[in-house]
Structure 1
Amino acid sequence: MIKKIIVSLSLLFSLASVAQEGSASPYSFYGIGDARFKGTTENRSMGGLGILPDSIHMNLQNPATFASLKLTSFTVGGSHNMTNLRTSSAKGDTQRTTIDYLAVAFPTGKLGFGFGLMPYTSVGYKINSFSDQEDGPNRAYSGKGGLNKVFLGAGYQLTSKFSLGVDFSYNFGNIETKSLLSQNVQYGTREMNTSDLSGFSMNAGLVFATKIKKYDFVSSVTYSPQGNLKSENERKIATLAGTGGSEIVVEEKDIVVADSDLKLPSKLAFGAGFGKKTNWFVGAEVTLQESSKFGNRYNDITNVSYEDAKKFSIGGYFIPDYDSFTSYWKRVTYRAGLRYENTGLVVGDTSIKDYGMTMGLGLPVGGSISNLNVGFEYGRRGTTHAGLIKETYANIFVSLSLNDRWFVKRKYE
């Protein structure tokens, strides 16, 4: 049954991941869009903590954890985002629902494999700017698209305490941005930019897990070297006629713009934690990203630069009694965490920062070892100072983790 579910959801995800708009942020205009969280609901509910190996839960942030799996695992997750956008003089609200990831992993002794598909970045915004003057220009900006990644990884248990892993990703996608200029004249102007993106990247990880008296101690490190991304760019300028929001093209020209060779920044993450794995765990993680070497798809974008990004996460979980027969809620996993991030984006002279707090539940499904995970995140990004935008957001995310034993040779026919 689980195999039929996997096939059906995989086909659905493959179609939906290309078409969805995963962001409603004006900050997604820059670079290749908003960076999406590249982990599971379980990790995200703990402030994004990605250091934990588990026998039945996939950890997509560190490929070394694939070696810890004891059962074939399938997971799919999605989220609903609600954001309030505010400047010093205006405000607005947006909502988005997206599919976040689909992955399958399976153990083969000391070696574990995993593969899947997830969004890497998202672009999605609509901004209107109206002139204070009667005959002044009015502008409208919009964008959609983003970058997706398909990955294949493996983890190997070197010793009883050390596991090593690596995954390789092919990144692909399309970004379309549009700006409209209209005045109290017969015709308006439209500029449309399109970028087709593709390239490869990799991620390597190491996990150290041991016992210190009666406690479990885990430390983790991952490193992603700088990746390359090819951006094939097109630009079209059109003269428009029409009213009521319609765009009737009178004349359109192709403008020659150079293709771009972008660099996906190198990233180093390391963390540690301790606890009793079947009862409680708490940990912290630091992520450093060399975003200062990143650039825009077009060279004529001004007033923006990049600096090295930093993220700090702390989180954990609590299970009252994981094998309780009398109380369902004692078998539930309760998760929580905090996150602070300097995103690396600098608009004008202002660094864009992101703060968030998370919580979540891991709900056992029936009497099986599969589970339904739900989480909530509340946070803030940006500021209203210097003419910028402050985003206050709430995210609800849900995932299904199905676990089964595959590749077992039958003793009886």
Structure 2
Amino acid sequence: MQVKNTWIRLLVVAAALVPVAVAAQTSSINAFSPYTMYGIGEQNTPGTLVMRSMGGVGVAVRNAGVVNLLNPAAYSVAPQKTFLFSFGLEGQNYYNSQTAEGIAKRSVYNTFNFHDIAFQMPVTKGLGLGFSLTPYSSVGYRTKFYQDFSDPIMGDVGPVQYTYQGEGDVTEVKLGLGWEIFRNFSVGVAAQYYWGDIDRGYVMTPTSIVGEGTFGSTIGADNYSISSIKGQVGVQWSPILNQKRLLTLGAAFDFGGDLRPDVSSRIYNADLNYTTVRADTTQLALVLPHQLSAGVFYRTAKWAVGVDYVYQNWGGRNKDAVRTGISGADRRSYEVRYTNTSTVKVGIEYTPNRYDVRRTLRRWSYRAGFRYGYYNQTFNGDRLAQYAMTAGIGIPVKFFAVSSIDVGIEYGRRGYNLAERLGLVRQQYFKFAVGFTLFAGGAENNEYWFTRPKYD
């Protein structure tokens, strides 16, 4: 009866959380940045909160108490008769600043949404299954700029105000298998399903320079509906594995590819009839890059250290470019183009003594990390540097337990290397996240869920 009740509770929780998470992901802005005007927007940091608190490392993480969303080969570590469930929430604060025409402008925006739902379970000895539902990328912006407008029929109209706005997201669902094909060496494969909607629109409002005549606004609206399946493969090898220490090397490859969205575009005049006019709109292609990631992870009873390197082939798969502009004395405009990116992640975790009976704080895990790389778009060939610093703690729910409550923070900046010279937006953000890890099964911590009791 105890086993049956536990399964019922688990299914009820999962059934309640998944629809809520899906609804939140398809109805809220998860990012607020003018840099999300093109393509699929801003990529969310992958991984459960344990990994994100360590700078985002995880390709080589091999831990029965952590669902690894970065490498499907790690699913093979799931012990028999166990179940690992993870759920995370994240709030973000975006602060954007820019100096245009000598005037300092600022904007602040707050978001709050789920970050991940994931579970891991064994299929048989050495073979594990993993599932995750996570936001992959987000679009959210509201901005405007001015540009002189000239028409062959109307002549010089004068300054025209363009107001742009957009929102939407792309969600990733992953189902994978990890297999330990021989001792300490595992391979994994996963299918990734991407879906979502991105809405982008603009309003063009001209103003006559001669004080005569009126010009109606022109409104544009684009919708990108995404539904596509991709794939991922991974490998992990532990050359050192004993009771005192663990050293694991890992690598993963994402195939990426064209998302092939269904595009609905409309441009019309803001008159009484909202007359549709013929025109073309241009956006950067919605194509996911090839991604190659490699990492190393070392763990002892107290310390854990990880380093990851991630390469994304954005420029090689996206050849399109668009032009944009900002207000200013010289009416500057920029060519926006995708570029290949490299990111380095470093993370560390310290657990003083998870078996300490007297002092609770010594059983907690303390984490910190750093991440540095470049944004995947260039402006007139200039690359935008971005970095983030992270920290967090893991609190076991009871003595000697794997189940835990995790809390993490992240501070990041983007565009500061070019903002003053090019007049771009300087962006900084702060994230606060809470994660819940539920581990069922295991003789070492008495977290039994799937063992039938002898007495009921």
1:53 equivalent in alignment to 2:62: yes
Unpaired runs of at least 5, structure 1: 242-247
What amino acid is aligned across from residue 121 of structure 2 in structure 1?
F
- Residue 244 of structure 1 is matched in structure 2 by none
CA distance in 2, matches of 1:82, 1:257: 31
Quote how far apart the aligned CAs of 1:225 are: 2.0
Instruction: Pick the aligned partner of 1:393 from 419, 424, 429.
Output: 429
1:402 equivalent in alignment to 2:438: yes
- Corresponding pairs, count: 406
* SS state at 1:322 partner: coil
What amino acid is aligned across from residue 221 of structure 1 in structure 2?
A
- Residue 171 of structure 1 is matched in structure 2 by 194
1:252 equivalent in alignment to 2:276: yes
Matches within 5 A, 1:89-238: 89=100, 90-108=105-123, 109-129=125-145, 136-184=159-207, 185=214, 187-211=216-240, 214-238=244-268
CA distance in 1, matches of 2:280, 2:164: 21
* SS state at 2:361 partner: coil
CA distance in 2, matches of 1:224, 1:298: 24
Report the TM-score, using the length of structure 2 for normalisation: 0.82
What amino acid is aligned across from residue 96 of structure 2 in structure 1?
L
CA distance in 2, matches of 1:375, 1:273: 20
CA distance in 2, matches of 1:369, 1:408: 17
- Residue 63 of structure 1 is matched in structure 2 by 72
- Asked if structure 2 preserves the Cα contact closer than 8 Å seen for 1:357 and 1:377, the reply is yes
1:10 equivalent in alignment to 2:18: yes
After superposing the two structures, state which structure 1 stretch, 35-44 or 177-186, moved more.
Answer: 177-186
Instruction: Pick the aligned partner of 2:367 from 304, 314, 335.
Output: 335
* SS state at 2:11 partner: helix
- Asked if structure 1 preserves the Cα contact closer than 8 Å seen for 2:91 and 2:431, the reply is yes
* SS state at 2:182 partner: coil
What amino acid is aligned across from residue 222 of structure 1 in structure 2?
A
CA distance in 2, matches of 1:13, 1:273: 31
What amino acid is aligned across from residue 331 of structure 1 in structure 2?
R
CA distance in 2, matches of 1:264, 1:132: 35
CA distance in 1, matches of 2:453, 2:354: 30
1:19 equivalent in alignment to 2:27: yes
After superposing the two structures, state which structure 1 stretch, 183-192 or 138-147, moved more.
Answer: 183-192
Instruction: Pick the aligned partner of 2:358 from 326, 340, 346.
Output: 326
Instruction: Pick the aligned partner of 2:394 from 362, 374, 379.
Output: 362
Q: Which has the larger radius of gyration?
A: 2
CA distance in 2, matches of 1:199, 1:6: 24
Q: Structure 1 residues 365, 3: CA separation in 2 closer, same or farther (over 3 Å shift)?
A: farther
Quote how far apart the aligned CAs of 1:295 are: 2.9
* SS state at 1:87 partner: strand
Q: Structure 1 residues 254, 200: CA separation in 2 closer, same or farther (over 3 Å shift)?
A: farther
What root-mean-square deviation, in Å, do the aligned CA atoms of Structure 1 and Structure 2 show? 2.7
1:351 equivalent in alignment to 2:374: no
- Asked if structure 2 preserves the Cα contact closer than 8 Å seen for 1:200 and 1:228, the reply is no
Q: Structure 1 residues 95, 260: CA separation in 2 closer, same or farther (over 3 Å shift)?
A: closer
- Asked if structure 2 preserves the Cα contact closer than 8 Å seen for 1:235 and 1:255, the reply is no
- Residue 313 of structure 2 is matched in structure 1 by 290
What amino acid is aligned across from residue 393 of structure 1 in structure 2?
Y
Quote how far apart the aligned CAs of 1:6 are: 2.0
1:79 equivalent in alignment to 2:79: no
1:37 equivalent in alignment to 2:21: no
Quote how far apart the aligned CAs of 1:86 are: 1.4
- Asked if structure 2 preserves the Cα contact closer than 8 Å seen for 1:73 and 1:106, the reply is yes
- Asked if structure 2 preserves the Cα contact closer than 8 Å seen for 1:203 and 1:222, the reply is yes
Report the TM-score, using the length of structure 1 for normalisation: 0.90
- Percent of aligned pairs with the same amino acid: 26
- Asked if structure 2 preserves the Cα contact closer than 8 Å seen for 1:231 and 1:259, the reply is no
CA distance in 2, matches of 1:33, 1:399: 25
What amino acid is aligned across from residue 265 of structure 2 in structure 1?
R
Quote how far apart the aligned CAs of 1:73 are: 1.1
What amino acid is aligned across from residue 209 of structure 1 in structure 2?
S
Quote how far apart the aligned CAs of 1:369 are: 2.8
Q: Structure 1 residues 57, 255: CA separation in 2 closer, same or farther (over 3 Å shift)?
A: same
Q: Structure 1 residues 191, 80: CA separation in 2 closer, same or farther (over 3 Å shift)?
A: same
What amino acid is aligned across from residue 126 of structure 1 in structure 2?
R
Q: Structure 1 residues 284, 258: CA separation in 2 closer, same or farther (over 3 Å shift)?
A: closer
CA distance in 2, matches of 1:304, 1:228: 19
